[in-house]
Structure 1
Amino acid sequence: MNYRIEWKQILKNKEKVQCSSDWISAESAIQLGEELERNGKVTDLYFYDEMGVSWNMKEMRKLLLEIEEEPHDITLYFDGGFQKETYQAGLGAVIFYHQGKKKYRIRANNLFNEMETNNEAEYAALYFALGILEELGVEYKTCEIKGDSQVVLKQLEGEWPCYEEVLNRWLDRIEEKINKMGIRPRYTVISRKDNKEADKLATQALEGKEIYAKTIIL
């Protein structure tokens, strides 16, 4: 999650001017805050996250220590493959995140029965990926969600309407889980080429190859 700093700068004539920073990482925000405090001409310095929650410097330092021990800086890729002959779906998910001083990658898939369309498989794949985040204990974090299904992502953003009852049920499930976990999603449509790892996992699920692998990325 990114943070913004707001503070009042004291001018030579003692006038106070309201200032704010761009959105930056927690580490950069603390570093900037410390530099501002050292110049001795700053008052009312507060940090704000993307959900509007605010902290003072002491609280922000404590928050950073807590963040380091929890999964953060999360990027989620998802893809669903549909087999019309069997009405089965292969669900693929690739998740990158930081925890402590390390970066991790999870590759996982699942086979889902009784699907009706490829779009439903895409929704099911995202729901499956969110379930992995829930198992990791992810709460109140910004999450980059990337997939090659423009329909799914635009409908989740509310830009495109959804008229199909089956897909609306998946929309409700996904939004309920996101709200329960307090996730702030950022949806990005990517090309199939940029989503090939999740696509391969979905295909492997349809082939009967079950995968769950967690690795440390150096």
Structure 2
Amino acid sequence: MNILIEWIYKSPKGAETVFRSEEMPAAQAILVAEDLARTGRTKNVLFIDQFDSTWTVKEMKGYLKGIETEPHNITVYFDGGFDLTTRKSGLGCVIYYEQSGKSYRLRQNAPSAELSSNNEAEYAALYLGLQELEHLNVHHLPVRFIGDSQVVINQLTGEWPALENNLSNWADRIEDKLKDLSIQPEYKLVQRKLNSEADRLATQALNGVSITATSEVTVD
């Protein structure tokens, strides 16, 4: 969770002005806010999230403490593929998250014979990611969704209209699931080479290889 810090600075002669920081991770913001407090020249320190909600230092500490043992700092990569010859699809998603001080990577794929286009497979892959988040009991959190489909990303951000009924229906399903889980989505479009893990999972699903795995991510 990234936030801004806003505070009032009071000079030794009593002049006051308002400062606002750049965006930074919430844990880092708490350290900065505590350091500001030690100067004795700040007051009304507030944190501001991406939805313009404000938090006191105490509230933010309580929030971070509460999610410590639950999955958080979540990023979902998704990709879908459609084979015109077999009329079958492969879906793949990779979820990175933190929990209890450790980092994890969840990989999941699935085949489908019920879709009719590559764009529909891309939507279904994102929905697969949402189902996995539901299994992880993720709720009331911001989540970043990353994919290489211009159609899906631009339609879900509202930049492009969803004119095809089947794609519009998928967009509605995704919006409903996000609402049910109280997830605040952030969408990012990347080049295909930066989405290789999810792409590989989708291809494996098309080839009949099933993947379900969660592993700890360690930093050397």
Settle same-fold status: TM greater than 0.5: yes
Deviation sequence 1:107-156 (CA, Å, 0-9, x none)? 10011222111110110010011111111121222222111111111111
Matched AA of 2:66? E
Using the TM superposition, give the Cα deviation of residue 54 of structure 1 relative to its aligned residue in structure 2, in angstroms: 2.3
Cα distance in 2 for partners of 1:7, 1:57 equals 11
Distance 2:7 2:198 in 1: 43
C-alpha deviations, 1:172-218, integer Å up to 9, x for none? Answer: 01111122222222222222222121111111112222111000011
Paired residue type of 1:55: W
CA shift at 1:85, angstroms?
3.3
TM-superposition CA deviations, 1:3-36 (whole Å, max 9, x none): 1111111122312211221111111111011011
Answering whether residue 52 of structure 2 is matched by residue 52 of structure 1, we say: yes
Q: Alignment length, in residue pairs?
A: 218
Q: Structure 2 regions of 5+ residues with no counterpart?
A: none
Counterpart-to-counterpart distance in 1, 2:204 and 2:163: 31
Work out the CA distance in 2 between the residues paired with 1:177 and 1:211: 23
Q: Distance in 2 between matches of 1:143 and 1:164?
A: 26
- The TM-score, its normalising length taken from structure 1, stands at 0.94
* Structure 2 match to 1:128: 128
Residue 68 of structure 2 aligns to a residue in which SS? helix
State how 1:128-207 maps to structure 2 within 5 Å: 128-207=128-207
What RMSD, in angstroms, separates the aligned Cα atoms of the two structures? 1.4
Moved more, 97-106 or 49-58: 49-58
> Once the two structures are aligned, what percentage of the paired residues are identical?
46
TM-score, reference length from structure 2:
0.94
Deviations 1:66-86 (A, max 9, x none): 232221221111111112233
2:99 is equivalent to residue 99 of structure 1: yes
CA–CA separation in structure 1 for the residues paired with 2:173 and 2:98: 26
Secondary structure, counterpart of 1:69 in structure 2: coil
Unpaired runs of 5+ residues, structure 1, are none
How many Å separate the matches in 1 of 2:63 and 2:188?
A: 28
Q: Which residue of 1 aligns with 2:35?
A: 35
